């Protein structure tokens, strides 16, 4: 199985449950959701004129529309060549669940890695049973019920108070489940959204996710 990889890099997970964890990020190309505030718009289209060689992906100094088809073996080789030490892999996008992730998550687990997927939940989630699924619902496109049920954590982006209405609908589906992990994440470090999130997290005993990588100005 080949995946269209936009970038691959080692950093610190800056959001959600695994915040602060050293991680290797694999960003896949392609997304059909089109959120206005998306900070990875360069991943939306898989245009063939932007296809590059595997070696060029690791030379990318800044994020752009270029991408390359890679097998999981190609990815493992890069990790070994670059002597990256993180054992936590984050498969993100774009929307990574546009692709069947069973192959990549299974093979990486066999090599001793723990996999996490960051998804909008708008596509069927196909991955290993042990994969941690971070669901970040986007109101632009319906979140599948199967994604809500599979999620290990829900990291909900907030800009204005009305955004909670969609979260409420989602939580209704898992109301019988105990210990749901709910994170509120202010969109684009917006100060008003941050204040709304702090207030709501305190009221509901949810957690705040503030994208520490953006404050630290790391990738």
Farthest CA pair distance, the chain: 50
Range 44-103, binding ligand SF4 (CB under 6 A): 93-95
Give the Cβ contact number of residue 175 at 10 Å.
7
Task: Give burial (CB, 10 Å; 0-12/13-18/19+) of 17.
Answer: middle
Take residue 194 and report the two structure tokens written for it.
């941050």
Q: Of the two residues 88 and 141, which places its CB atom closer to ligand SF4 in the complex?
A: 141
Q: Of the two residues 93 and 186, which places its CB atom closer to ligand SF4 in the complex?
A: 93
The residue at minimum Cβ distance from ligand SF4 is 38
Size of site (CB under 6 A) for ligand SF4: 12
CB 84 within 8 A of CB 26: no
Q: Of the two residues 79 and 94, which places its CB atom closer to ligand SF4 in the complex?
A: 94
Estimate the crossing angle of helix 72-81 against helix 102-110, to 10 degrees.
Answer: 40
The distance from CA 163 to its chain's CA centroid, rounded to whole angstroms, is 20
Give the Cβ contact number of residue 85 at 10 Å.
9
Contact call for residue 208 and ligand SF4 (CB under 6 A): no
Contact call for residue 40 and ligand SF4 (CB under 6 A): yes
Q: Of the two residues 79 and 116, which places its CB atom closer to ligand SF4 in the complex?
A: 116
Give the Cβ contact number of residue 129 at 10 Å.
9
- Residue 127, annotated ligand binder? no
- Residue 12, annotated ligand binder? yes
Q: How far apart are CA 15 and CA 21, in angstroms?
A: 10
- Residue 13, annotated ligand binder? yes
Contact call for residue 105 and ligand SF4 (CB under 6 A): no
Take residue 3 and report the two structure tokens written for it.
């995946």
- Member of 9, 11, 17, 38 binding ligand SF4 (CB under 6 A): 38
Annotated binding site: 12-14, 27, 31, 35, 37-40, 92, 94, 136-138
Annotated binding site for [4Fe-4S] cluster: 31, 35, 38
Annotated binding site for Mg(2+): 40
Residues near ligand SF4, by CB under 6 A = 31, 33-35, 38, 40, 43, 93-95, 120, 138
């Amino acid at each position: 199985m080949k995946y269209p990889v936009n970038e691959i890099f080692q950093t610190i997970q800056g959001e959600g449950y695994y915040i602060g964890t050293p991680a290797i990020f694999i960003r896949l190309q392609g997304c059909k959701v089109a959120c206005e505030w998306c900070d990875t718009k360069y991943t939306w289209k898989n245009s063939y004129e932007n296809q590059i060689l595997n070696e060029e992906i690791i030379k990318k100094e800044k994020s752009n529309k270029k991408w390359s088809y890679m097998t999981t073996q190609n990815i493992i080789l890069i990790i070994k060549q670059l002597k990256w030490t993180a054992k936590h892999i984050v498969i993100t996008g774009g929307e990574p669940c546009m692709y069947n992730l069973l192959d990549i998550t299974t093979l990486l687990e066999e090599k001793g890695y723990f996999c996490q997927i960051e998804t909008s939940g708008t596509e069927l989630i196909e991955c290993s049973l042990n994969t941690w699924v971070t669901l970040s619902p986007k109101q632009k496109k319906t979140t599948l019920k199967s994604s809500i049920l599979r999620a290990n954590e829900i990291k909900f982006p907030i800009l204005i108070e009305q955004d909670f209405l969609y979260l409420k609908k989602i939580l209704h589906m898992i109301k019988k489940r105990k210990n749901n992990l709910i994170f509120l994440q202010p969109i684009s470090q917006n100060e008003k959204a941050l204040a709304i999130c702090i207030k709501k997290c305190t009221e509901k005993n949810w957690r705040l996710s503030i994208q520490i990588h953006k404050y630290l100005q790391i990738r």
